[in-house]
Structure formats: C-alpha cells, structure tokens
C-alpha cells in the first residue's frame, strides 16, 4: 500500500482480529484458490494515496470468478468479460456524461485520480461469493472509511445499496458529501441506480469543494 496509509493503519496490524484474519487467509490460500492475487489485495491503497483521496466508491466483496478481481471495487482485469454491475455503471456513465463505455473493465484510471475503489471485504474464495465475510475484513475497511472521514479536506462518499449505506454511521456528514442510490446490480439497478447521475453529482460536489473534477473517461485498449 502507499506509504502515507501506513501510519494511519499500522495500529490495526497488531490487533487480534488482524492476526486471526491473516492466519485465515494464509490457510485458505494453502488449500484453495483465493481472489484477488496476494499482490493485488491492497491495490486500492496502492493506487490511491491517502493524501489524494477525493472520492470513495464503496463495494462489497471481490468478484469470485477466475481472473476477475484486481483489488479495486467493481473493477476487473483487462481481457475479462465486463460483469453486469459494471456494465450498468458504464450504462449510467453514458447516460449521465455521454461517455462511451470502454472495451474493458479496468477502473485503474479512476483510482489514479484520487477515486478510492474500496471493497468492505478484500478477499474471496473461488466461486463462493461472500465466503470471506465476517473474518475481520469489515473491521479493517471500517477503519479505512474512518481515516478518510477524518481528512481535513471534504471527500465525496459514494454508497450504492443498503450494505454500503450502513457505513454512513462512520462518515462525518457535516464535512463530507454522501451520494446514495440503489446498487448497480441487475437485481436492483432499475430501482434507483439507473438515472441517478452519480458522476455529474460527484463532479459538481468536487467543484463546490474547490477541487479538480474527475475525468471519468476510460481509455480503450
């Protein structure tokens, strides 16, 4: 992870939950296939330095299919079929901003502009969605949300779906902007995600904060 996260999170690394979590992950990797790759687990913190966070888009679990998860919420590696939730995100991006969807699902271009693409759970077993919930990752991701909320500069938090919206309790709502809607999953996208125009709302908020807007366009391969 980027070095400026270390002093903010290092107290976590000596806590009982963290040691138990790492033992669990180590034992899981020894016996079965775990996503993302070990070197990509903290990719969100590696690509987006704490000092650069302007937007936080909160996801849930990593994708559980082969080659999909790359450590960024909603993102997949190049060459992997775009998952349905991300397809709806791209559909809304087209409606909202007129941007053509790219031919891949890697959202690294957003992460490099200060968009923290954070999942609440950072690992998953192959083909078993939600399999690493309630093993300690939620404590760690709550701590990340908390330290982002403590930033001096205002941040736009994007909470799609009921699970993400529970994290409002951690966010300083007097300082930061929260954008909420239904989750982009096909099961819920038509109940309020599609048509919610999150990208223009984020950029409008950043402009009010006196911060440079995000270029949401993603280069084609």
Q: Which residues of 81-92 are buried (b: 16+ CB within 10 A; e: fewer)?
A: ebbebbbbbbeb
Cis amide linkage into residue 41, ω under 30° from 0: no
Catalytic residue among 4, 11, 14, 61: 61
Q: Where are the domains of the chain?
A: 3-208
Name the band, by pLDDT with cuts 50, 70 and 90, for residue 144. very high
> Percent of the chain at pLDDT above 70?
99
Q: What is the pLDDT of residue 1?
A: 65
Specify whether 126 is catalytic. Answer: no
Per-residue confidence (pLDDT) for residue 150, from 0 to 100:
98
pLDDT at 9 over 70: yes
- The whole-number pLDDT of residue 210 equals 97
pLDDT, mean of residues 199-207? 99
Q: Give the whole-angstrom CA distance, residue 36 versus residue 206.
A: 31
Question: How many Å apart are CA 107 and CA 110, to the nearest integer?
Answer: 6
Q: Is the pLDDT of residue 194 over 70?
A: yes
* Mean pLDDT of the 189-214 span: 98
Question: Is it the case that residue 147 has pLDDT exceeding 80?
Answer: yes
Average pLDDT over residues 35-40: 97
Measured in degrees and rounded to the nearest 5, phi and psi for residue 160 equal -100, 115
pLDDT exceeds 70 at position 92? yes
pLDDT of residue 16: 98
181-197 mean pLDDT: 97
Rounded to an integer, the average pLDDT of 67-86 is 96
- Just give the CATH number of 3-208: 3.40.470.10
Give the closest residue to 203 by CA, choosing from 171, 177, 164.
177
Predicted local confidence at residue 3, as pLDDT: 78
Average pLDDT rounded to a whole number, residues 133-143 = 98
Is 2 a residue whose pLDDT tops 70? no
- Tell me the whole-structure pTM to 2 decimals: 0.97
Task: State mean pLDDT over 139-166.
Answer: 97
DSSP E strands in the chain: the ranges are 34-35, 55-59, 115-119, 124-125, 156-160, 177-181
């Amino acid at each position: 992870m980027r070095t400026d996260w270390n002093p903010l999170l290092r107290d976590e690394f000596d806590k009982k939950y963290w040691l138990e979590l790492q033992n669990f992950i180590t034992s899981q990797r020894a016996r079965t296939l775990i996503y993302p790759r070990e070197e990509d687990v903290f990719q969100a913190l590696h690509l987006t330095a704490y000092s650069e966070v302007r937007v936080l888009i909160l996801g849930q679990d990593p994708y559980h299919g082969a080659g999909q998860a790359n450590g960024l919420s909603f993102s997949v590696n190049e060459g992997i079929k775009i998952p349905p939730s991300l397809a709806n995100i791209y559909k809304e991006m087209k409606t909202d901003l007129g941007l053509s969807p790219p031919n891949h699902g890697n959202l690294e271009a957003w992460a490099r502009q200060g968009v923290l693409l954070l999942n609440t759970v950072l690992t998953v077993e192959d083909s078993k969605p939600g399999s690493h919930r309630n093993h300690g990752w939620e404590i760690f991701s709550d701590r990340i949300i908390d330290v982002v909320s403590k930033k001096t500069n205002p941040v736009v938090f994007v909470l799609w779906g009921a699970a993400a919206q529970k994290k409002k309790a951690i966010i300083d709502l007097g300082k930061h902007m929260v954008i909420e809607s239904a989750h982009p999953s096909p099961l819920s996208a038509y109940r309020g995600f599609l048509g919610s125009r999150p990208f223009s709302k984020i950029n409008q908020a950043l402009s009010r904060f006196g911060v440079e807007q995000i270029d949401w366009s993603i280069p084609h391969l």
